[in-house]
Amino acid sequence: MYVSTECVVLAHRNFNEADKILTIYTKEFGKMACVAKGVRRLTSKKAGHVVPGNWCKVFIAKGKRLDLLTEAELKKAFGIKKPTLVKAGNVFHLLELVNQLTEVNQKNPQVFSLLVDFLDKVDREEDFNLISVAFKIKLLSALGFFSARSFKGSQTQSLIQLFEEENYAYLKENLKVQESSYLKLLAFLDSMIESLTESKLKTTRFANGKF
């Protein structure tokens, strides 16, 4: 059985002599793992398409133990437009968040759309404090981990509700938040994410150039 879908490559690791196991987040099926055979060879035509941060259309053969990626067509490589270490760190931070917070084979088209949309904002070098807070709140909400209603009576409820409900363009145009407030909110969100995943975020110190 073959399936075709759009995906963002979240992570990869070496497998056998010339292969890689990819972790991808797909539009139709949620998070999946699949083998990309031969992509570590210099002659591989798929190698440049299936690196973390790339948005691709892929064809996958379903297997009993491991699925096999048979074809990949690049739609957009995020982070390579005027590439910098800061931008790479920001891209990998968003990828890690989705990888850590989602389960395999749990479909959520909203998560896929959020990831593609916010990776595009990183690529256009938007304010990463705004991107990071908005993405984390919208992602946690889309996955059902919290809503602004959970913070009833707290000073942060109205701010979180704005991030949860309003689109990015509105937030960018109308929201004026001091950097110190962003940092406090990001520390709170990262702490919540690490509690939910029971693991430390590896990319936090690289986001926004904190090397």
The one-letter amino acid at 2: Y
Q: Same structural domain for residues 117 and 201?
A: yes
Whether residues 123 and 150 share a domain: the answer is: yes
By DSSP bridging, strand 19-26 and strand 54-61 are: unpaired
**CATH number for 183:** 1.20.1440.120
Shared domain check, 112 and 43: no
**182 in the same domain as 124:** yes
- Its domain, for residue 30, covers 2-77
Strand, coil or helix: 199: coil
Q: 205 with 106, same domain?
A: yes
Integer Cα distance of 202 and 109 in angstroms: 25
106 shares a domain with 70: no
Same domain, yes or no, for 72 and 98?
Answer: no
Contacts of 22 (CB under 8 A, 6+ apart): 9, 11, 12, 33, 34, 35, 36, 50, 69
Mark which of 77, 107, 132 sits at the end of a domain: 77
Which pLDDT belongs to residue 151?
Answer: 75
List, for residues 125-181, the tens digit of each pLDDT value: 899 999 999 999 999 999 999 888 877 766 678 888 999 999 999 999 999 888 888
Residue 201 makes CB contacts below 8 A (sequence gap 6+) with 93, 96, 97, 100, 190, 193, 194
Is there a single domain that holds both residue 61 and residue 165? no
The label of the residue with tokens 């917070």 reads: 101
Boundary (domain end) residue, out of 77, 93, 116: 77
Instruction: Indicate whether 65 and 27 sit together in one domain.
Output: yes
- Helix pair angle (109-123, 85-101), 10° resolution: 170
- Closest Cα partner for 189 from 149, 143, 133? 133
Q: How many domains does the chain have?
A: 2
* pLDDT, greater one: 116 or 177: 116
Q: Please check whether residues 190 and 99 belong to one and the same domain.
A: yes
Instruction: State which of 53, 77, 101 marks the end of a domain.
Output: 77
Q: How far apart are CA 182 and CA 136, in angstroms?
A: 12
pTM: 0.93
SS3 state at 128 = helix
Which band of pLDDT confidence, cut at 50, 70 and 90, is reported for residue 23?
A: very high
For residue range 29-60, what is the model confidence (pLDDT) as tens digits?
Answer: 999 999 999 999 988 888 889 999 999 999 99
CATH number for 62: 2.40.50.140
Residues 89 and 73 placed together within one structural domain of the fold = no
Kindly state whether residues 63 and 92 are assigned to the same domain.
Answer: no
